[in-house]
Amino acid sequence: MVGSLIALQAALLFCASAQASGNKQFEPLSDLLASAVKSSRLGLPGHSPFHLRATVKDPNHKDSPFDATIEEYWVSPEKWRRTIRSRDYSLTIVVNGHDVSQKAQGDYYPYWLRNAVTSIFDVVPDDFTPEEKTLDTSNLSRVGESSGATGVVHTIAATACTGWNHAGGPPPNPDGVSTSVCFNHLRLVNSIRSPFFTSHYMEPADF
């Protein structure tokens, strides 16, 4: 009798494992990322003209050197104007057909400011290349709600993440660094962390 129970438990475990495996949905990371970027990137052909003004603030310090304003008037990929201003650096880019002009003030384009501009307009850097791997996206369709003590309803949405290690990296991590990419239930980029670019995207909305 005991032997029969053990055999039955093993059979049930096998069935549950097979069923869980069968529900998984694997997609190429490169395809998922390309689709997410296309859905979020601003200024692609066919987009409506827009005016955007973004403020970058350091919440912990007043008059921080990491405060900035980023403004863009966009008509088409061939006609737009972007102005970037921080305490120590400013940059104005004007594109009019084949004519492109840039006017910069400051010693160099700060890394943190470049990251902010990339996060707003491009989502990920143009030279970001994900590894050839697949990602289980079956969990992305699971969205629920929870009520806190104040009665506010919060959306609980699953994310799907993957990552990989680099054999060597820039200082202070010459022995190795890692990269990770996460997607939210809308199949948009939730976060990305790499040696040269890190960004976290919250509460996506139509623009």
Q: What pLDDT, on a 0 to 100 scale, did the predictor assign at position 62?
A: 87
Say if residue 144 is in the same domain as residue 112.
Answer: no
Say how far apart CA 110 and CA 22 lie, in whole Å. Answer: 48
Say if residue 47 is in the same domain as residue 78.
Answer: yes
Q: What pLDDT, on a 0 to 100 scale, did the predictor assign at position 25?
A: 86
Say how far apart CA 47 and CA 25 lie, in whole Å. Answer: 31
Confirm whether 1 is domain-assigned: no
Q: Residue 172, preceding bond cis, omega within 30 degrees?
A: yes
Confirm whether 64 is domain-assigned: yes
Confirm whether 152 is domain-assigned: yes
Question: What is the count of structural domains for the chain?
Answer: 2
Confirm whether 12 is domain-assigned: no
Average pLDDT over residues 165-188: 75
Q: What pLDDT, on a 0 to 100 scale, did the predictor assign at position 3?
A: 44
Say if residue 183 is in the same domain as residue 137.
Answer: yes
pLDDT in tens, 51-96: 999 999 988 888 899 999 999 999 999 999 999 999 999 999 999 9
Say if residue 135 is in the same domain as residue 190.
Answer: yes
The pLDDT-based confidence of 147 (bands split at 50, 70, 90) is very low
Say how far apart CA 94 and CA 43 lie, in whole Å. Answer: 14
19 pLDDT higher than 90: no
- Picking from 39, 24, 55, the residue whose alpha carbon sits closest to that of residue 184 is 39
Q: What pLDDT, on a 0 to 100 scale, did the predictor assign at position 170?
A: 57
Which residues, in sequence order, are CB contacts of 157 under 8 Å at separation 6+?
142, 143, 144, 184, 185
What range does the domain containing 98 cover?
A: 42-121
Say if residue 30 is in the same domain as residue 105.
Answer: no
Let me know: does 195 contact 170? Beta carbons within 8 Å.
yes
Confirm whether 19 is domain-assigned: no
111 pLDDT higher than 60: yes
- Residue that has been written with the tokens 């492109």 in this structure: 100
Q: What pLDDT, on a 0 to 100 scale, did the predictor assign at position 142?
A: 61
